[in-house]
Amino acid sequence: MIPLGLLFALTVALARSYHTREDALVRQWFQAGNRDLSAGQPRQAFEDFRNALAYDPENRLVQLRLAEALLADGQLSEARSYLVTLWERAPGSGEVNSDLAHVSVRIGDGDDAARYFQAAIYGSWETDPARQRRNVRLELCEFLLARNRTEDAQAELAALAADIPPGDAGLLEKTGRLLLQAGRPARALAEFEAELRINPRQGQWLEDAGNAAMAAGDYAKAETYLARAVREHSSEQAEQLLATARDVMSGDPFQPGLSDQEQARRTSRAFNQGQVRLQKCAGGDAAPAYPGQSLTDLQSLNRDAQGLRERATLRLLTRDPELRKEAMQLVFRIETATANSCGQPSGMDRALLLIGQRHEGNIP
Amino acid sequence: MSEPNAPIGESQVPGPTAAPSPPAENEITGNWLTGRPRSFTLSEGNLFLLLAVIIGLFSGMAVVCFRITIEWVRLALLGSALAPSHIRVLLVPAGAGLVVAFLVQRFFRAARSSGVNQTKAAVYVFDGHVPFRTVIGKFVTCSLAIGSGQSLGPEDPSLQMGAGIASTLGRRLKLSRDKLRLLAPVGAAAGLAAAFNAPISAVLFVIEEVIGTWSASALGAIVLAAVSSAVVMRSFLGSEPMFRVPAYTLAHPAELLSYAVLGVVGGFLSLAFTKIIVFFRPRLRGLPEWTHYFQPAAAGLLIGFVGLRVPQSMGAGYSFIDQALHSQYTWEILAVLGFAKILTTSLSFVSGTPGGMFAPTLFIGAMIGGSIGGLEHHFFPQINASVGPFALVGMGTFFAGFLRVPITSVFMVLETTGNYSIVLPVMISNTIAYLISRKYQDVALFDLLARQDDLELPSMEEQREQVVLRVEDAMRKPDVASLQAGDTLARALEIAETSPEEILLVRFPTGRWASISRKELSAKAGELPNSTLLREILSTGRLPVLHPDQRLDDVLRYIQGHEVLPVVSRAGSRMLEGVLSLPDVLAAYQKST
């Protein structure tokens, strides 16, 4: 029994001293790896983490960082292999699922990526789980939009918007932009307005809100925000948007509260603008080269415009609301056709295109 | 009424290690609870089992100390990085080689040889004696050698240390010679179980390679020792399996073909590795004695040069096996690592540096396996498995082909990885590698090494493959019908006249058998009336009965004292299948040789 006791004591002493040394080595190599990873040296970081793992092969955090170093170094299959091993042990880990989603995105496996993103959102996180989940959801939205899965993205964005903590301007801004990208401008505008409640004079946020308002068809609001944006920070884009908003406001004959005379004046101006745009776009192709030749869209529109020109006088337009409607419909057709044939318009033509989209199928 | 004859089954035939122990008793005195002297006794059998547990505890702790010492030595000499600095890589293995050679040549000559063979020698030659000096020698020299980067593993030394500890304890307790002989493999299993953290594989290896028999008494002690040793190891170094592998699923049965290819390649490469070892080892040993002081250093220097480019080929290499299992290397790199390891391990082993071949074998197998897998995937992308599963199967394949322990190789892969999903590919690949190795290399590596060391140890593989002669190979068909116990003397004489046999078998209705000689029958006929029944005059006792499938070796124990024995069917002891006499047995043996 005495030799057994002595051997036990010796083994305990040796094992303790070695485990202490192992722990120190793991910390040392782990810190070195993190430093190298932060310094943009993933290959060196990978070596460091591998050294750390030699002394604590079961350390999930080191394994995770090693996989992240591999991922950063572009060694996707190796990173995936490590992460899958980790996932098998902790399928509910948010961090592991998130990393696997990143690998899947880079490999091009969209279904797996979406699945891992979802698992990460509902997975467990060791630090600040709410923020981590929001970040992953944000990444998922970006991923879905990049793959044109707009409906899925809209659902995720709605969940994200409902989960934004008060005062998180950065997240409000990102969410608003993604909502805009997902075709939900009204919802985006709400996010930007929430952002502006934090700082009403932030130029970029004002510009974003104006942009969202424009997309939502609320040109009055857009003009207000963009005018403030231009005042707060000089931005060519904001100025262009402001000009367009003002053109829409000043050029829309269907705006409520306008007199017949004002509506006729705006219609006439729009009709003239449309004809000029049509002539410029069609150039020498405004009429058929010989009699009997079938007409192109632009030639057909030119013919219709010529047919209407006689009747579209200011006097008749003032008297006849149906004529105003007919003239504006032709203008909208011209702007749409020329935009398709000759590229996106600017100035008043852009305003007319937006007015057309605003009243599409719903001209009063 | 007589009872039926008790058939002789194999279970009744004690093997060489399972002979009933003499009823010796050892007395243990204690006063644990009451404080008063109290004595109780343990039979040697029970004491042996208790001792097996104690051996497991000692061996487990010794192996833990051994593993930690190797790590300390490595940290001190090579540093904590997996890829040490160039100057250390070049100088440390060579420098340590000088020290190791000096210690081996001057103090621990037994540390140089294979631990497996020395344990077998203890069982079959030295009555279970393994000097404790060998344990110390293995511990010191192997720690230094492996820790300094020599391409060897700690498993074989651990096995021998376990055997040495067991033998020392047995001698101190003055156990009988039979038990002492059995203790060495018990300790070996304990040492190997702790080294591999794989008690099942350790038990199988010792049975497959050291004692070669499934004797109940040996198995109980070996299992107890292996389990207690593994428990000790796990409590100190953790219970995780040696390697962690991703889950594997066989997507399609056709994938097994790709593993069969691995078996073929692994089989031929293990064969080549064996040939290299057995060719160079005796030649280096045959060089003048003074060169033995420098051979490990020279090997260390060459290993250092290889290590400059391939540092993974130094030391035991467990962490690199782990990386291969996680598909960390491309197939080209895996191939380089595999061949580099064959080179460095050959250098270390043939130079007489003490250390084991188990870990390097696993390393080479993992790298070659992964390489084959990667190559197959490159040319046949439809093969679903990644490099990792091939590396895993490769470990077992090379182990089976090189060490020629097919059953152990399968369980070793499963146990060291804790992954049972890979069992089908492992079985296929291991079997192919084993068969190829056997076909082109008649004698297994351990047996070749033993012969190079002038030891004629029994080859477990040859024993397994030996043709077994059975009763049916030697028995004769009875020429005439047997006598019945209820026959009259007149009827018996009638039958005896038609029979060429001198001894006639007599069957009782219960299935019991007896015999009577023709001479005795004639004598009784002169004395007694013809109507006397045979059962009334039989003077011989009940005869043992044999069955056609019994081993002829076993029959020899029971045929002594009987001219002839009945061979009866297992379906009924009254159905006579044949008769067997000692000359029949000898004739069968002569015929078989």
Q: Is pLDDT above 90 for B266?
A: yes
* B562 to chain A, closest Cα gap in Å: 53
The Cα–Cα gap between A182 and A195 comes to 19
pLDDT the model gives residue A292: 56
Top residue of A10, A17, A18, A43 to mutate, by most chain B CBs within 10 Å, is A18
Q: Are A254 and A364 in contact (CB under 8 A)?
A: yes
A173 in a structural domain: no
The beta-carbon neighbor of A18 closest among B57, B72, B82 is B72
pLDDT at residue B428 greater than cutoff 50: yes
* Residue A256: per-residue pLDDT: 86
Contacts of B512 (CB under 8 A, 6+ apart): B2, B3, B4, B5, B542, B573
Q: The tokens 């990873």 sit on which residue?
A: A37
Q: Which of A7, A28, A50 sits opposite B61 (nearest CB)?
A: A7
* Contacts B324 to A, Cβ<8 Å: none
Q: Virtual CA dihedral for A105, A110, A115, A118, nearest 10 degrees?
A: 60
Q: Which residues of B touch A10 (CB under 8 A)?
A: 61, 65
Q: What's the Cα-to-Cα distance from B546 to each of B211, B517, B561, B579, rounded to whole Å? A: 28, 20, 15, 9
Which is nearest to A154 in space by CA: A129, A179, A118?
A: A179
Q: What is the pLDDT of residues B366-383, one digit of tens each?
A: 999 999 988 888 887 776
0.90 exceeded by pTM: no
Q: Report, as an integer, the average pLDDT of B175-197.
A: 88
Which residues contact residue A51 at a Cβ distance below 8 angstroms, ignoring those fewer than 6 apart?
A: A25, A29, B80, B81, B82
Check residues B189 and B386 and name the one with the higher pLDDT.
Answer: B189
Residue B27's pLDDT is what?
44
Domain B471-592, architecture per CATH? Roll (3.10)
Asked if residue A324 belongs to a domain, the reply is yes
CA dist list (Å): A301 to A281, A297, A311, A329: 12, 6, 16, 11
Q: How many CB pairs under 8 A join A and B?
A: 70
At B413 the pLDDT is 86
In chain A, the N- to C-terminal Cα span, in Å, equals 103
Q: Which residue has the higher pLDDT, B482 or B15?
A: B482
Q: Which residues of B touch A (CB under 8 A)?
A: 54, 57-58, 61-62, 64-65, 68-69, 71-72, 75, 80-83, 236-238, 240, 244-247, 319, 322-323, 326-328, 386, 388
Tell which of B54, B65, B245 to mutate to test the A interface (max A CBs under 10 Å): B65
pLDDT digit string (tens) for B126-161?
888 889 999 999 999 999 999 999 999 999 999 999
Give the range among A167-171, A349-353, B27-31, B242-246 with minimum mean pLDDT.
Answer: B27-31
More confident residue, A217 or B168: B168
pLDDT at residue B23, rounded to an integer: 40
pLDDT of B275 reads 94
Closest Cα of chain B to A153: distance in Å?
Answer: 33
Q: What is the pLDDT at residue B71?
A: 92
Helix and strand numbers (H, E) in chain B are 24, 7
Please report which confidence band the pLDDT of residue B271 belongs to, taking 50, 70 and 90 as the band edges: very high
Split into its structural domains, chain A has a count of 1
Q: What number is the average pLDDT over the span B24-43? A: 49
Phi-psi map region of B28: left, alpha, beta (phi>0 left; psi -120 to 50 alpha): beta
Domain presence at residue A203: no
Q: Rounded to the nearest 10 degrees, what angle do helices A185-198 and A169-181 cross at?
A: 160
| A252 domain-assigned | no
pLDDT of residue B8: 43
CA pseudo-torsion sign B468, B471, B476, B477: negative
> Which token pair is A49?
């983490």
Distance CA A300, CA A322 (A): 21
* CA–CA distance, B496 with B195 (Å, rounded to integer): 68
In this complex, the residue of B54, B64, B75 whose CB is nearest that of residue A11 is: B64
Q: Which residue of B has its CA nearest to A2?
A: B58
Instruction: Quote the pLDDT of residue B6.
Output: 42
Residues of A in contact with B386 (CB under 8 A): 77, 81
Specify the amino acid at residue B32.
W
Residue A210 · residue A230 · CB < 8 Å: no
Closest Cβ opposite residue B68 in set A3, A14, A58: A14
The mean pLDDT value for B388-411 works out to: 90
* A25: nearest CA partner in chain B: B80
Q: State the smallest CA–CA distance between residue A359 and chain B in angstroms.
A: 56
Give residue-wise pLDDT tens across range B569-579. Answer: 888 877 888 88
Q: What is the pLDDT of residue A361?
A: 52
Chain A's closest residue to B71, CA to CA, is A18
**Average pLDDT, integer, range B338-348:** 95
Q: What are the Cα distances from residue A37, in Å, to A44, A67, A226?
A: 8, 11, 42
**Do B244 and A82 count as a contact with CB atoms less than 8 A apart?**
no
Helix (H, G, I), strand (E, B) or coil at B161: helix
If you average pLDDT over every residue of chain B, what do you get? 84
CA distance A212 to A219: 10
Interface test with B, best of A10, A85, A88 (most B CBs within 10 A): A85
B65 contact residues in A (CB cutoff 8 A): 7, 10-11, 14
Radius of gyration of chain A (CA): 32
**pLDDT for B157:** 93
Task: Give the chain A residue whose CA is nearest to the CA of B73.
Answer: A18
- Provide the pLDDT for residue B415: 84
Task: Tell me the CA distances in angstroms from B329 to A40, B153, B195, B308, B324, one per residue in order.
Answer: 22, 22, 26, 18, 6
Distance CA A22, CA B40 (A): 46
For residue range B103-118, list pLDDT tens digits in order: 999 998 888 877 888 8
Nearest by CB to residue B246, choosing from A4, A12, A85, is A85
Give me the pLDDT at residue A163, please.
84
Distance CA B409, CA B398 (A): 9
Contact across the interface for A85 and B326, Cβ inside 8 Å: yes
Q: Which residues of A touch B69 (CB under 8 A)?
A: 14
Q: Can you tell me the distance from the alpha carbon of A51 to that of B148, in angstroms, rounded to the nearest whole number?
A: 18
Confidence class for position B41, pLDDT limits 50, 70, 90: low
Facing A25 at nearest CB: one of B68, B80, B237: B80
Indicate the domain borders of chain B: 43-237, 255-293+311-461, 471-592
How does pLDDT run along chain A (364 residues), one tens digit per residue?
787 888 888 999 999 999 999 999 999 999 999 999 999 999 999 999 989 988 888 788 898 899 889 989 988 887 887 888 788 888 899 999 999 999 899 888 888 899 999 999 999 998 888 999 999 999 999 999 999 899 999 999 988 888 888 888 888 889 999 998 888 888 889 888 888 888 888 888 899 899 899 888 888 899 999 999 888 887 888 888 899 999 988 889 988 889 999 999 999 999 999 999 988 887 756 555 555 555 577 888 888 888 898 888 889 999 999 999 999 999 999 999 888 888 888 888 989 988 888 876 555 5
Measure the CA–CA gap between B217 and A37, rounded to whole angstroms: 58
Q: How far is B23 from chain A (nearest CA, A)?
A: 26
B328 neighbourhood in chain A, CB within 8 Å: 78, 81
For A16, residues 6+ apart whose C-beta sits below 8 A from its C-beta are none
Q: How far is CA B551 from CA B519, B546, B547, in A?
A: 32, 10, 9
Beta-carbon contacts of residue B340 (< 8 Å; ≥ 6 apart): B306, B309, B310, B312, B313
Say which of B65, B245, B328 has its CB closest to residue A10: B65
CATH homologous superfamily, domain B255-293+311-461? Clc chloride channel (1.10.3080.10)
Taking each helix axis from N to C terminus, what angle separates B406-417 and B177-196, rounded to the nearest 10 degrees? 40
Domain B471-592 in the same topology as domain B43-237: no
Q: Mutate which of B66, B168, B326, B333 to test chain A, going by most A C-beta atoms within 10 A?
A: B326
Expressed in angstroms, the distance from the first to the final Cα of chain B is 45
Check CB contact under 8 Å for B82 and A47: yes
Q: Which of B55, B132, B231, B236 to mutate to test the interface with A (most CBs of A within 10 A)?
A: B236
Domain that holds residue A346: 260-286+296-358
Q: B166 contacts in A (CB within 8 Å)?
A: none
Which residues on B lie below 8 Å from A5 (Cβ)? Answer: none
Give me the percent of chain B exceeding a pLDDT of 90: 40
A47 neighbourhood in chain B, CB within 8 Å: 81-83
CA distance A15 to A30: 22
Q: What share of chain B is helix, strand, coil (3-state, %, to 5)?
A: 65, 10, 30
| Fold designation for B43-237 | Clc chloride channel (1.10.3080)
Q: What pLDDT does residue A198 have?
A: 86
Nearest CA in chain A to B239: A58
- What pLDDT does residue A342 have? 86
Q: How far A85 CA sits from the closest chain B CA (Å)? A: 5
Rounded CA separation B299/B353 (Å)? 9
**CB count in 10 Å sphere of residue B500:** 7
Kindly list the residues from chain A whose CB atom is less than 8 angstroms away from the CB atom of residue B80: 25, 28-29, 51, 55
Tell me if A344 sits within 8 A of A240, measured CB to CB. Answer: no
Q: Which is higher by pLDDT, B459 or A121?
A: A121
Instruction: Check A14 against B54: CB less than 8 A apart.
Output: no
CB atoms within 10 A of CB B539: 10
Instruction: Write down the pLDDT at residue B570.
Output: 87
